[in-house]
Structure 1
Amino acid sequence: MAGSDGEYKVADTQARFAVAVREGRPVNDVSWTPGRVLLSNRRLILASNDGKRTVPLSQLNGLGGRHDANQSITRVSNYVSFDLGDQVLIVAAADHESFERDVYRALLDQRTLMAKHPAVAGGVVQESEWQQARVKIDENGLGAALEQGAFVEFDLDDISGLDAAKRTVDGKKKPVIEVSHTDGDGTSIETHLAGSSQRMRFVEAWLRKGEERSTTNVDLSSRDREVLMALYSGVSPFEIPAFLGIDVDVVEETFERLIELDVVEEVRVRREVTLNSRGRNIASEAMNEQ
């Protein structure tokens, strides 16, 4: 699929696909077609025994969203929807997460945006200038290589907020996405990204996945929240029992639950030991020798 015009292959996978919306109306009798999906940085090709359909990526209005018009679609837990305006195609790949990431790679990898970084740091507005940024998609999120040499990482697990607005960038009104995340030192910052309407729709859709991950719809108990707030305030995990007046075993159980909820990460396990009879004898002899 590589071409002299800079086209290159991004993905080649087995999948099922269907038309969920035709002429602006949901299709009630949707049927899945098994086949092969080829994806480049320029086009999407759906190939089956019935023929081949090519969709230029430049025709895409958006990605995502479910179109569960009937049971045959509802039963499929994961698929990517391609919004072409009056028509929506849906593709359920064998490896959904990998294919979805490849779609965003095809749309955004090596494309340029404008970035203001940091626009806000620690709650204080910065005097940063807009500069060009080259984008790269990876499994953790989005990276942006800035014109002045810095590299900004937007880890999907680190994105705490996302706001879309219109701002004046280099004298022109452009769509801007304000991304709340943290820098390498753990400082809360905002980075602002700007670009064409179509490109920013895809950037926003990809980064929204991070915001969704960090939403607070996790089922936390009051004890869980106490422990989280203590950690956020800088209290050492080992000091939390004394700080909150809670038994060590209860805190350990809370840590286990928070790890399962993917709210905290285990750094190391502290060992709790007690002397046995041999140890007590050795310790006693050592004390007598002093």
Structure 2
Amino acid sequence: MSEGERKLMDDRGQFLEAVQNGRDVQDADWTQCRIVITTARIVLVTDEKRTIPLDAISDVGGRYDVNQNAAGVASYVTVRIENDDVLLLRAPEQDEFETDLYRAFIDNTILYVQHPAVKGGVVQGTEWQRAKVKLTDEAIQLAIEDGQYVTIGRDDIGDVESDDQQVNGTERRVFEVEHTDEDGTSVETHLTGEAKQVTILQEVLQEGAERNQANLDLSPVEQQVIMALHSGVSPFDLPDFVETDVEEVEEIFDRLIELDVIETIRERTEVEMTSRGRQVASEEMGNQ
């Protein structure tokens, strides 16, 4: 390896050459290989060795089901090379493999970040800053130039929207990422970077959002409860806010907890006076 180059992954895997010199390979099939990923290249080792510099890769992600051999596989990563070749790669631990691949492109690179751009539903007017990024299996970690260290848990990404915006005088694709901060408050962090960084970020963020997507059949009242909680309404004020009695709101809480939409922070004990308690209260009032 060249000076400064680091190995990120070295494991068995498979590749399928879906496109060669710009033409689909209709009879392409999976080939067993050893896959080595470094901070500078991808190496596929069979009887021969094929080296793909990261600089020669134009795009990563998405599916390219060139034939049934590709379509029949649930998960792989697509690598598009500037000479019009397309390779599909897979490994036994696919999630970890894809993280290592994405790390090769974005670890220790500089992104542009607004944090928090939105907090508790309120726009903060935060300026764009530079941030060094590090990707792990669990999180996107950002060291922002003002000294903030921000962690976006990949299991904590609630929603991702993208838009083209002017960032420091340049038109860029910006990702608006909803997650929670260290206090559990809903925030948005806005992220952008260079073209290839944006491609990788899109894959990482969409994968994180998909982890949390659920096909929930929620009633209108349940939807109102979720939106009220998201906007900062106290759980104790919810019955009045959604014009529903306390018992129904508590039943909704139980259902949302089962669906892993909300979680219990602490429980309030509901009490009523016993006959002995009433007697004690009467004695205390008589003594006053």
- Give the drift of 1:162: 2.8
1:210 — aligned with what? 208
Identity %: 33
Equivalent residue runs for 1:1-290 within 5 Å: 3=2, 5-48=3-46, 50-85=47-82, 86-119=84-117, 122-124=121-123, 126=125, 128=127, 130-156=128-154, 157-165=156-164, 167-169=166-168, 171=169, 173-182=170-179, 183-185=181-183, 186=185, 188-193=187-192, 195-213=193-211, 218-234=216-232, 244-245=244-245, 246-247=247-248, 250-251=251-252, 253-259=254-260, 263-267=261-265
| CA-CA distance at 1:249 after TM superposition | 7.5
Kindly state the Cα deviation for residue 155 of structure 1 after the two structures are TM-superposed: 3.1
The answer to whether the 8 A contact 2:58-2:81 is kept is yes
Instruction: Find the counterpart in structure 1 of residue 286 from structure 2.
Output: none
Q: Greater CA deviation, 134-143 or 228-237?
A: 228-237
- How far, CA to CA, are the matches of 1:265 and 1:215 in structure 2? 16
Q: d(CA) in 2 for partners of 1:69 and 1:265?
A: 43
Amino acid at match of 1:179: E
Equivalent residues, number: 274
Change (3 A) 1:90 1:190: same
* Residues 17 and 28 in structure 2, CA contact (< 8 A), matched pair in contact too: yes
Indicate if the aligned counterparts of 1:11 and 1:40 stay in contact, CA closer than 8 A.
yes
1:268/1:83 CA distance change after superposition, 3 Å: farther
What is the Cα deviation at residue 136 of structure 1?
0.4
Give the superposition deviation at 1:71: 1.6
The superposition leaves residues 104-160 of structure 1 with CA deviations (integer Å, 9 ceiling, x where unpaired) of: 1111111123334445555446252x4331110022331211122112233333352
| In 2: Cα distance, 1:124 partner to 1:255 partner | 28
Change in 2 beyond 3 A, CA 1:273/1:84: farther
Distance 1:15 1:165, change over 3 A: same
- Confirm or deny: 8 A CA contact 2:257 2:264 kept in the other structure: no
Matched to 1:200, the amino acid is V
Query: Is the contact made by 1:123 and 1:189 (CA closer than 8 Å) also made in structure 2?
Result: no
1:178–1:253: structure 2 CA closer, same or farther, 3 Å change rule?
Answer: closer
- Taking a change above 3 Å as real, the CA distance of residues 272 and 37 of structure 1, as seen in their structure-2 partners, is farther
2:159 alignment partner AA = S
SS in 1 for 2:259: helix
Equivalent pair of 2:65/2:71 in contact (CA under 8 Å): yes
State how far apart, in whole Å, the 1-side matches of 2:158 and 2:118 are. 14
CA contact (8 A) 2:111 2:130 kept: yes
Q: Check 1:233–1:88 CA distance in 2 against 1; reply closer, same or farther (3 A cut).
A: same
Distance 1:286 1:103, change over 3 A: same
Q: Which runs of 5+ in 2 are unaligned?
A: 284-288
TM (normalized to structure 2)?
Answer: 0.78
CA separation of 1:270/1:41 partners in 2, compared to 1, >3 Å: closer, same or farther? farther
Where does the alignment leave 5 or more consecutive residues of structure 1 unmatched?
A: 275-279
User: Judging changes above 3 Å, is the alpha-carbon distance between structure 1 residues 232 and 125 closer, same or farther for their aligned structure 2 residues?
Assistant: closer
Contact 1:19 1:89 survives alignment (8 Å): yes
Partner of residue 277, structure 1: none
Secondary structure of 1:158's match?
coil
SS at match of 1:144: strand
Query: Are the equivalent residues in 2 in contact too, given 1:144–1:152 (CA < 8 A)?
Result: yes
- Partner of 1:244: helix, strand, or coil? coil
Deviation of residue 63 (structure 1)?
Answer: 1.1
Is 2:63–2:78's contact at 8 Å kept on the other side of the alignment?
Answer: yes
